[in-house]
């Protein structure tokens, strides 16, 4: 982490500035319903290079010719969607910040997804941190020489593609009321697409439509933000709209199958200095004697639900479907971010865009601060200097 930026930020920090920042961040948008942290993370050049290297190791696996074969069982039969494309359009990799054996800050992989995250909001967040706290204009959340303008051009290229923006819709179950709705609105403002709830979309034959005024508009592409795990098998949500598992004349950005292919399921196939030991539970021949150093995770869960942190042997032996669980060596987060009341743990998400016919490109990041047992917002409700944030680097 960069000590000078941190020291300067903390010396000038005040609760009044934080509340002014939050007001500026939310101006013109619906209320932000998740906690945004008091501070960004300042990423050093050394940590930046480690993050890039860690991401490249994962990309190499995903680009293997046999990747689809390796991950065929990752997709639950009941949620398989037809017409899958060759690669995901979004990749997000979560890394906990730890100390390596030499005492240096190093990233360790926690989770990964072939699914979009807060691609619109993170740029908006970084810009408002810089403005509200009067940070150095040289600081950026972007990688690979991107700036706000070129980043949103690339995002539009990936999401809208050759279509007109009105033919492309951002879809979720109840989109305007999702916790991450501000991301939807920032994205729509920047690239011109429509935000629709599932029930706003109607099917005629194999085609999908929405109405705007008296006009019926065919949907050519769906920027999909619907996660099947969130509806917990309740397919009645499709009754007044359409079922994504049907044969449809629509393009998916990104195709729902990639949510499963690139996930906790992928981690046992990885190894390297930035990846903790991870095995499918049904392939664990002997239960480790040091279970306190492991965490047990269900393959099919959302936002950390079902994870067992303090694993006991009885937890393992009582599982009826071990093929749907992984046993992973715990990652020990280092409290690397210095707050006015002590060290805070941090996690950084690398966010890639993968345009059709091109290579995946590392673009921007998301970060989270935590004092709780787990990183997620629900585990940090009673603390300050926690929540969603962004990493800033010297450009």
pLDDT above 60 (res 389): yes
Tokens of 333: 């987060």
From the CA atom positions of the chain, what is the Rg in Å? 21
| Reported confidence tier of residue 228, pLDDT bands at 50, 70, 90 | confident
Beta strands in 213-321 (DSSP E): 215-218, 221-224, 251-253, 278-280, 294-298
Q: Per-residue pLDDT tens for 305-342?
A: 788 999 999 999 999 999 999 999 999 999 999 999 99
Taking residues 274-284, what's their average pLDDT? 95
Report pLDDT for 186.
98
Q: So what's the pLDDT on residue 171?
A: 97
Give alpha helix (H) positions in 63-197: 67-70, 121-132, 148-159, 181-191
pLDDT band at 148 (very low <50, low <70, confident <90, very high): very high
Cα(115)–Cα(6) distance, rounded to whole angstroms? Answer: 32
- Weakest mean pLDDT among 76-90, 292-306, 346-360: 292-306
| Cα separations in angstroms, 200 against 160, 183, 227 | 19, 19, 17
What is the spatial distance between Cα 185 and Cα 238, in angstroms, rounded to a whole number? 24
Least confident of 212-221, 300-309, 313-322, 342-351: 300-309
CA dihedral 86, 183, 306, 262 (to 10 degrees): 10
Q: Where are the domains of the chain?
A: 277-330
In degrees to the nearest 10, what's the CA dihedral of 376, 390, 59, 255?
70
Confidence (pLDDT) at 234: 84
Q: Average pLDDT over the chain, rounded to whole? A: 94
Among 224, 223, 240, CA closest to 159: 223
């Amino acid at each position: 982490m960069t000590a000078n930026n941190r020291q300067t930020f903390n010396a000038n920090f005040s609760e009044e500035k934080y509340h002014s920042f939050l007001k500026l961040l939310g101006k013109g948008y619906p209320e932000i319903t998740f906690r945004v942290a008091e501070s960004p993370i300042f990423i050093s050049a050394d940590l930046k290079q480690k993050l890039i290297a860690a991401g490249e190791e994962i990309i190499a696996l995903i680009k293997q010719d046999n990747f689809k074969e390796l991950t065929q069982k990752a997709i639950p039969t009941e949620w398989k969607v037809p017409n899958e494309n060759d690669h995901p359009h979004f990749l997000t990799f979560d890394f906990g910040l730890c100390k390596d054996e030499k005492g240096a800050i190093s990233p360790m992989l926690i989770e990964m997804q072939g699914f979009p995250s807060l691609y619109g909001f993170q740029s908006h967040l970084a810009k408002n941190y810089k403005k509200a706290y009067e940070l150095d204009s040289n600081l950026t959340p972007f990688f690979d020489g991107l700036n706000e303008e070129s980043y949103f051009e690339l995002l539009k290229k990936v999401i809208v593609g050759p279509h007109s923006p009105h033919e492309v819709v951002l879809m979720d179950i109840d989109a305007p009321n999702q916790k991450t709705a501000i991301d939807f609105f920032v994205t729509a403002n920047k690239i011109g697409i429509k935000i629709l709830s599932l029930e706003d979309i109607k099917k005629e034959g194999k085609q999908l439509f929405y109405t705007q005024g008296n006009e019926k508009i065919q949907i050519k592409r769906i920027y999909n933000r619907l996660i099947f795990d969130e509806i917990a098998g309740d397919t009645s949500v499709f009754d007044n709209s359409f079922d994504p598992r049907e044969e449809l004349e629509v393009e998916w950005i990104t195709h729902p199958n990639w949510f499963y292919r690139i996930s906790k399921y992928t981690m046992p196939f990885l190894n390297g200095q930035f990846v903790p030991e991870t095995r499918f539970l049904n392939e664990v021949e002997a239960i480790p004697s040091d279970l306190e150093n492991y965490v047990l995770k269900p393959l099919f869960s959302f936002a950390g639900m079902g994870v067992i942190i303090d694993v006991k042997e009885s937890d393992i032996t009582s599982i009826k479907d071990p093929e749907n669980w992984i046993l992973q060596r715990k990652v020990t987060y280092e409290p690397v971010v210095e707050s006015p009341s002590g060290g805070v743990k941090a996690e950084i998400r690398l966010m890639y865009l993968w345009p059709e016919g091109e290579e995946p490109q590392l673009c921007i990041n998301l970060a989270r601060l935590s004092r709780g047992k787990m990183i997620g917002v629900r585990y940090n409700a009673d603390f300050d200097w926690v929540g969603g944030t962004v990493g800033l680097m010297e450009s």
